[in-house]
C-alpha cells in the first residue's frame, strides 16, 4: 500500500486572508504593505524544488533573476543569459510556487532593440510562464520601454543603482551613488522609472541614505539589495543566502547557512560509500516477489538445456 504524501499547510502572510490556501499577493497587497510599513521578503529562485520550499516558507515574492547566469550556468556575469534560458527557469519556478508572486527578469538583449520587440518579449513571460510582473534594468534610458510595456497592460518592476547588465559601462560590479552627483543621478533615474509607470522598483548597491530618499519620495514600493533597510523590503540571491555560490560574496550578503560545505561532505561520503561497497545496502534494493527467484532459476535452466540441444 502506498502511503499518501503528507503536505504541511502553507505559512500564512497576515495579508492573505483565506484560510488553508496561501493567497498570492497582488500589486495592491504590495502597495498596502508599503503603506502599513510591512516589509516584503523575496529572493531569487531558478528551479522547481527551491520555489516549492520558498512558497512553503512563506516568501512574498520570487525573482527568477538573470543572476542565474552566474548561479546556475557559471557565466562570469549576466550578459550571456538568453531569453530562452530565462523562460525555462521561470516556468519551472512558477510550477513550484503557484501561489507566490513571481517576477520574470528580462535578460540583456531582450529589451534593448526596438520597443516593439521589448513588448513582445515581455508578453512571452506572461504567456509562457504566467508571471505576475517583469523586471528590467535602467533608469531614464529605459523609461520609454517601461512605459510601452505598462501601456500594454503588464506590470513592470524597475531596477536602478547597480545594474549588472551594464557593468561594462559602470566599470564592474561596484556600489553606486556614493557621491552627491552620482546619488542625484540615481534619484532622477528612480523618478523617471516611476513616472514611466513602474509599479515597484529594486535599488541595488547604493548607500542607505539614497535608498531612504527614494522610498520616501516615491509612492510605489521600493525594494533593496545592498541598499540598506530603509525601504519596503529586501531581496537576496538564493545561492548567496544558502552559502552555495563559490566565486565571490558581495559585502551586502548575509549567509544563513554554508550548504556548499555540507554538499561537499555529502558528495565525498557518497563517493566513499560506493567505492567501499557500503552503498547500496539491502534496504536500498527491490526484493523479488516470493517464489519468483526459484521460478527464474528453473526458467534459465530450461533455456540452457534447450540451447545445448540445438
Ligand atoms: O538577477 C537578479 O538576481 C537580480 C538581483 C540583483 C536581485 O536582479
The 10s digit of each residue's pLDDT in 265-300 is 999 999 999 999 999 999 999 999 999 999 999 999
Of 45, 78, 104, 165, the residue with max ligand 1 atoms within 8 A of its CB, to mutate for a pocket test, comes to 78
Answer yes or no: is 10 within a domain.
Answer: no
* Active site (annotated) includes residue 283: no
Q: Are residues 186 and 268 in the same domain?
A: no
Q: How many CB atoms lie within 10 A of CB 290?
A: 7
pLDDT digits (tens, 9 = 90+) for 4-54: 445 444 444 544 444 445 789 999 999 999 999 999 999 999 999 999 999
Q: Are residues 124 and 271 in the same domain?
A: no
Of 50, 63, 163, the residue with max ligand 1 atoms within 8 A of its CB, to mutate for a pocket test, comes to 63
Mean pLDDT of 53-79: 97
| pLDDT given for residue 10 in this prediction | 45
Answer yes or no: is 15 within a domain.
Answer: no
Which regions of the chain does DSSP assign to beta strands (E)? 40-44, 61-64, 101-105, 133-135, 156-161, 200-204, 222-225, 233-236
| pLDDT given for residue 29 in this prediction | 98
Q: Are residues 118 and 250 in the same domain?
A: yes
| pLDDT given for residue 8 in this prediction | 47
- Of the residues 204, 217, 262, 283, only one is catalytic, namely 204
pLDDT digits (tens, 9 = 90+) for 180-224: 999 999 999 999 999 999 999 999 999 999 999 999 999 999 999
Q: Are residues 231 and 162 in the same domain?
A: yes
Could you give the dihedral angle defined by the CA atoms of residues 7, 13, 15 and 17, in that order, rounded to the nearest 10 degrees? Answer: 30
| pLDDT given for residue 50 in this prediction | 98
Mean pLDDT of 92-119: 97
Atom of ligand 1 nearest to the CA of 159: 8
| pLDDT given for residue 168 in this prediction | 85
Q: Are residues 287 and 230 in the same domain?
A: no
Beta bridge partners of 160: 203
Q: Which of 163, 143, 146, 165 is nearest to 155 (CA)?
A: 146
- Distance, in Å, from the CA atom of 92 to the CA atom of 221, rounded to the nearest integer, reads 26
Say whether pLDDT at 240 is over 80. Answer: yes
Q: What pairing do the DSSP bridges indicate for beta strands 40-44 and 222-225?
A: unpaired
Atom of ligand 1 nearest to the CA of 66: 1
| pLDDT given for residue 172 in this prediction | 83
Question: Among the residues of 37-142, which ranges form H helices?
Answer: 48-57, 68-71, 83-96, 115-129
- Of 257, 274, 291, the position where a domain reaches its end is 257
Q: Are residues 51 and 190 in the same domain?
A: yes
* Distance of CA 168 from the midpoint of ligand 1 (Å): 17
Mean pLDDT of 101-113: 97
The residues, ordered by sequence, that sit 6+ positions from 262 with a Cβ below 8 Å of its Cβ are none
Q: Write out the three cell numbers for 82.
A: 538568453
Say whether pLDDT at 260 is over 50. Answer: yes
* Distance of CA 265 from the midpoint of ligand 1 (Å): 29
Range of the domain at 302: 264-309
- Distance, in Å, from the CA atom of 282 to the CA atom of 247, rounded to the nearest integer, reads 40
Answer yes or no: is 165 within a domain.
Answer: yes
Q: Is the pLDDT higher at 250 or at 137?
A: 137
Structural domain tally of the chain?
2
Answer yes or no: is 3 within a domain.
Answer: no
| pLDDT given for residue 21 in this prediction | 58
Q: Are residues 243 and 283 in the same domain?
A: no
Answer yes or no: is 22 within a domain.
Answer: no
Q: Are residues 145 and 162 in the same domain?
A: yes
Mean pLDDT of 236-258: 93
| pLDDT given for residue 4 in this prediction | 47
Q: Are residues 214 and 272 in the same domain?
A: no
Answer yes or no: is 20 within a domain.
Answer: no
| pLDDT given for residue 216 in this prediction | 97
Answer yes or no: is 4 within a domain.
Answer: no
Q: Which of 138, 125, 39, 40 is nearest to 89 (CA)?
A: 125
- Of 257, 278, 293, the position where a domain reaches its end is 257
Question: Please, how many CA atoms are within 13 Å of residue 51, restricted to the half-sphere of its CB?
Answer: 24
Of 125, 163, 164, the residue with max ligand 1 atoms within 8 A of its CB, to mutate for a pocket test, comes to 164
Q: Write out the three cell numbers for 15.
A: 495579508
Atom of ligand 1 nearest to the CA of 135: 8
* Distance of CA 142 from the midpoint of ligand 1 (Å): 17
| pLDDT given for residue 75 in this prediction | 96
Q: Is the pLDDT higher at 10 or at 234?
A: 234
**What percentage of the chain has pLDDT greater than the value 70?**
93
* Distance of CA 66 from the midpoint of ligand 1 (Å): 6
Mean pLDDT of 70-93: 97
Q: Are residues 135 and 192 in the same domain?
A: yes
Q: Are residues 294 and 159 in the same domain?
A: no
Say whether pLDDT at 2 is over 50. Answer: no
Mean pLDDT of 78-102: 98
Q: How far is CA 61 from CA 36, 97, 135, 234, 253, in A?
A: 18, 10, 13, 10, 18
- Of 214, 233, 257, the position where a domain reaches its end is 257
Question: Looking at residue 151, which CATH number applies to its domain?
Answer: 3.20.20.60
| pLDDT given for residue 1 in this prediction | 42
Q: Are residues 85 and 227 in the same domain?
A: yes
pLDDT digits (tens, 9 = 90+) for 128-173: 999 999 999 999 999 999 999 999 999 999 999 999 999 888 888 8
Answer yes or no: is 21 within a domain.
Answer: no
Amino acid at each position: 500500500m502506498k502511503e499518501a504524501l503528507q503536505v504541511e499547510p502553507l505559512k500564512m502572510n497576515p495579508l492573505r486572508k483565506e484560510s488553508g490556501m496561501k493567497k498570492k499577493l497582488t500589486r495592491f497587497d504590495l502597495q498596502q504593505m508599503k503603506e502599513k510599513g510591512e516589509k516584503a521578503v523575496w529572493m531569487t529562485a531558478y528551479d522547481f524544488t527551491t520555489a516549492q520550499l520558498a512558497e512553503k516558507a512563506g516568501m512574498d515574492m520570487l525573482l527568477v533573476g538573470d543572476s542565474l547566469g552566474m548561479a546556475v550556468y557559471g557565466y562570469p556575469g549576466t550578459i550571456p543569459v538568453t531569453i530562452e534560458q530565462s523562460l525555462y527557469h521561470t516556468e519551472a519556478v512558477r510550477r513550484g510556487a503557484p501561489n507566490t508572486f513571481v517576477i520574470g527578469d528580462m535578460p540583456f538583449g531582450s529589451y534593448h532593440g526596438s520597443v516593439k520587440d521589448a513588448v513582445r518579449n515581455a508578453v512571452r513571460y506572461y504567456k509562457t510562464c504566467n508571471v505576475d510582473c517583469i523586471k528590467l534594468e535602467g533608469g531614464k534610458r529605459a523609461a520609454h520601454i517601461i512605459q510601452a510595456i505598462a501601456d500594454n497592460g503588464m506590470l513592470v518592476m524597475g531596477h536602478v543603482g547597480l545594474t549588472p547588465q551594464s557593468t561594462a559601462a559602470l566599470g564592474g560590479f561596484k556600489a553606486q551613488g556614493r557621491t552627491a552627483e552620482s546619488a542625484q543621478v540615481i534619484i532622477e533615474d528612480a523618478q523617471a522609472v516611476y513616472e514611466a509607470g513602474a509599479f515597484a522598483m529594486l535599488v541595488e548597491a547604493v548607500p542607505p541614505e539614497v535608498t531612504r530618499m527614494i522610498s520616501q519620495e516615491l509612492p510605489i514600493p521600493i525594494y533593496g539589495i545592498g541598499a540598506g533597510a530603509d525601504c519596503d523590503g529586501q531581496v537576496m540571491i538564493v545561492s548567496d543566502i544558502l552559502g552555495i555560490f563559490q566565486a565571490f560574496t558581495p559585502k551586502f550578503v548575509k549567509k544563513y547557512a554554508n550548504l556548499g560545505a555540507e554538499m561537499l561532505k555529502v558528495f565525498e561520503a557518497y563517493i566513499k560509500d560506493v567505492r567501499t561497497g557500503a552503498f547500496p545496502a539491502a534496504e536500498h534494493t527491490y526484493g523479488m516477489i516470493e517464489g519468483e527467484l526459484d521460478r527464474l532459476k528453473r526458467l534459465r535452466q530450461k533455456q540452457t538445456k534447450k540451447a545445448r540441444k540445438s
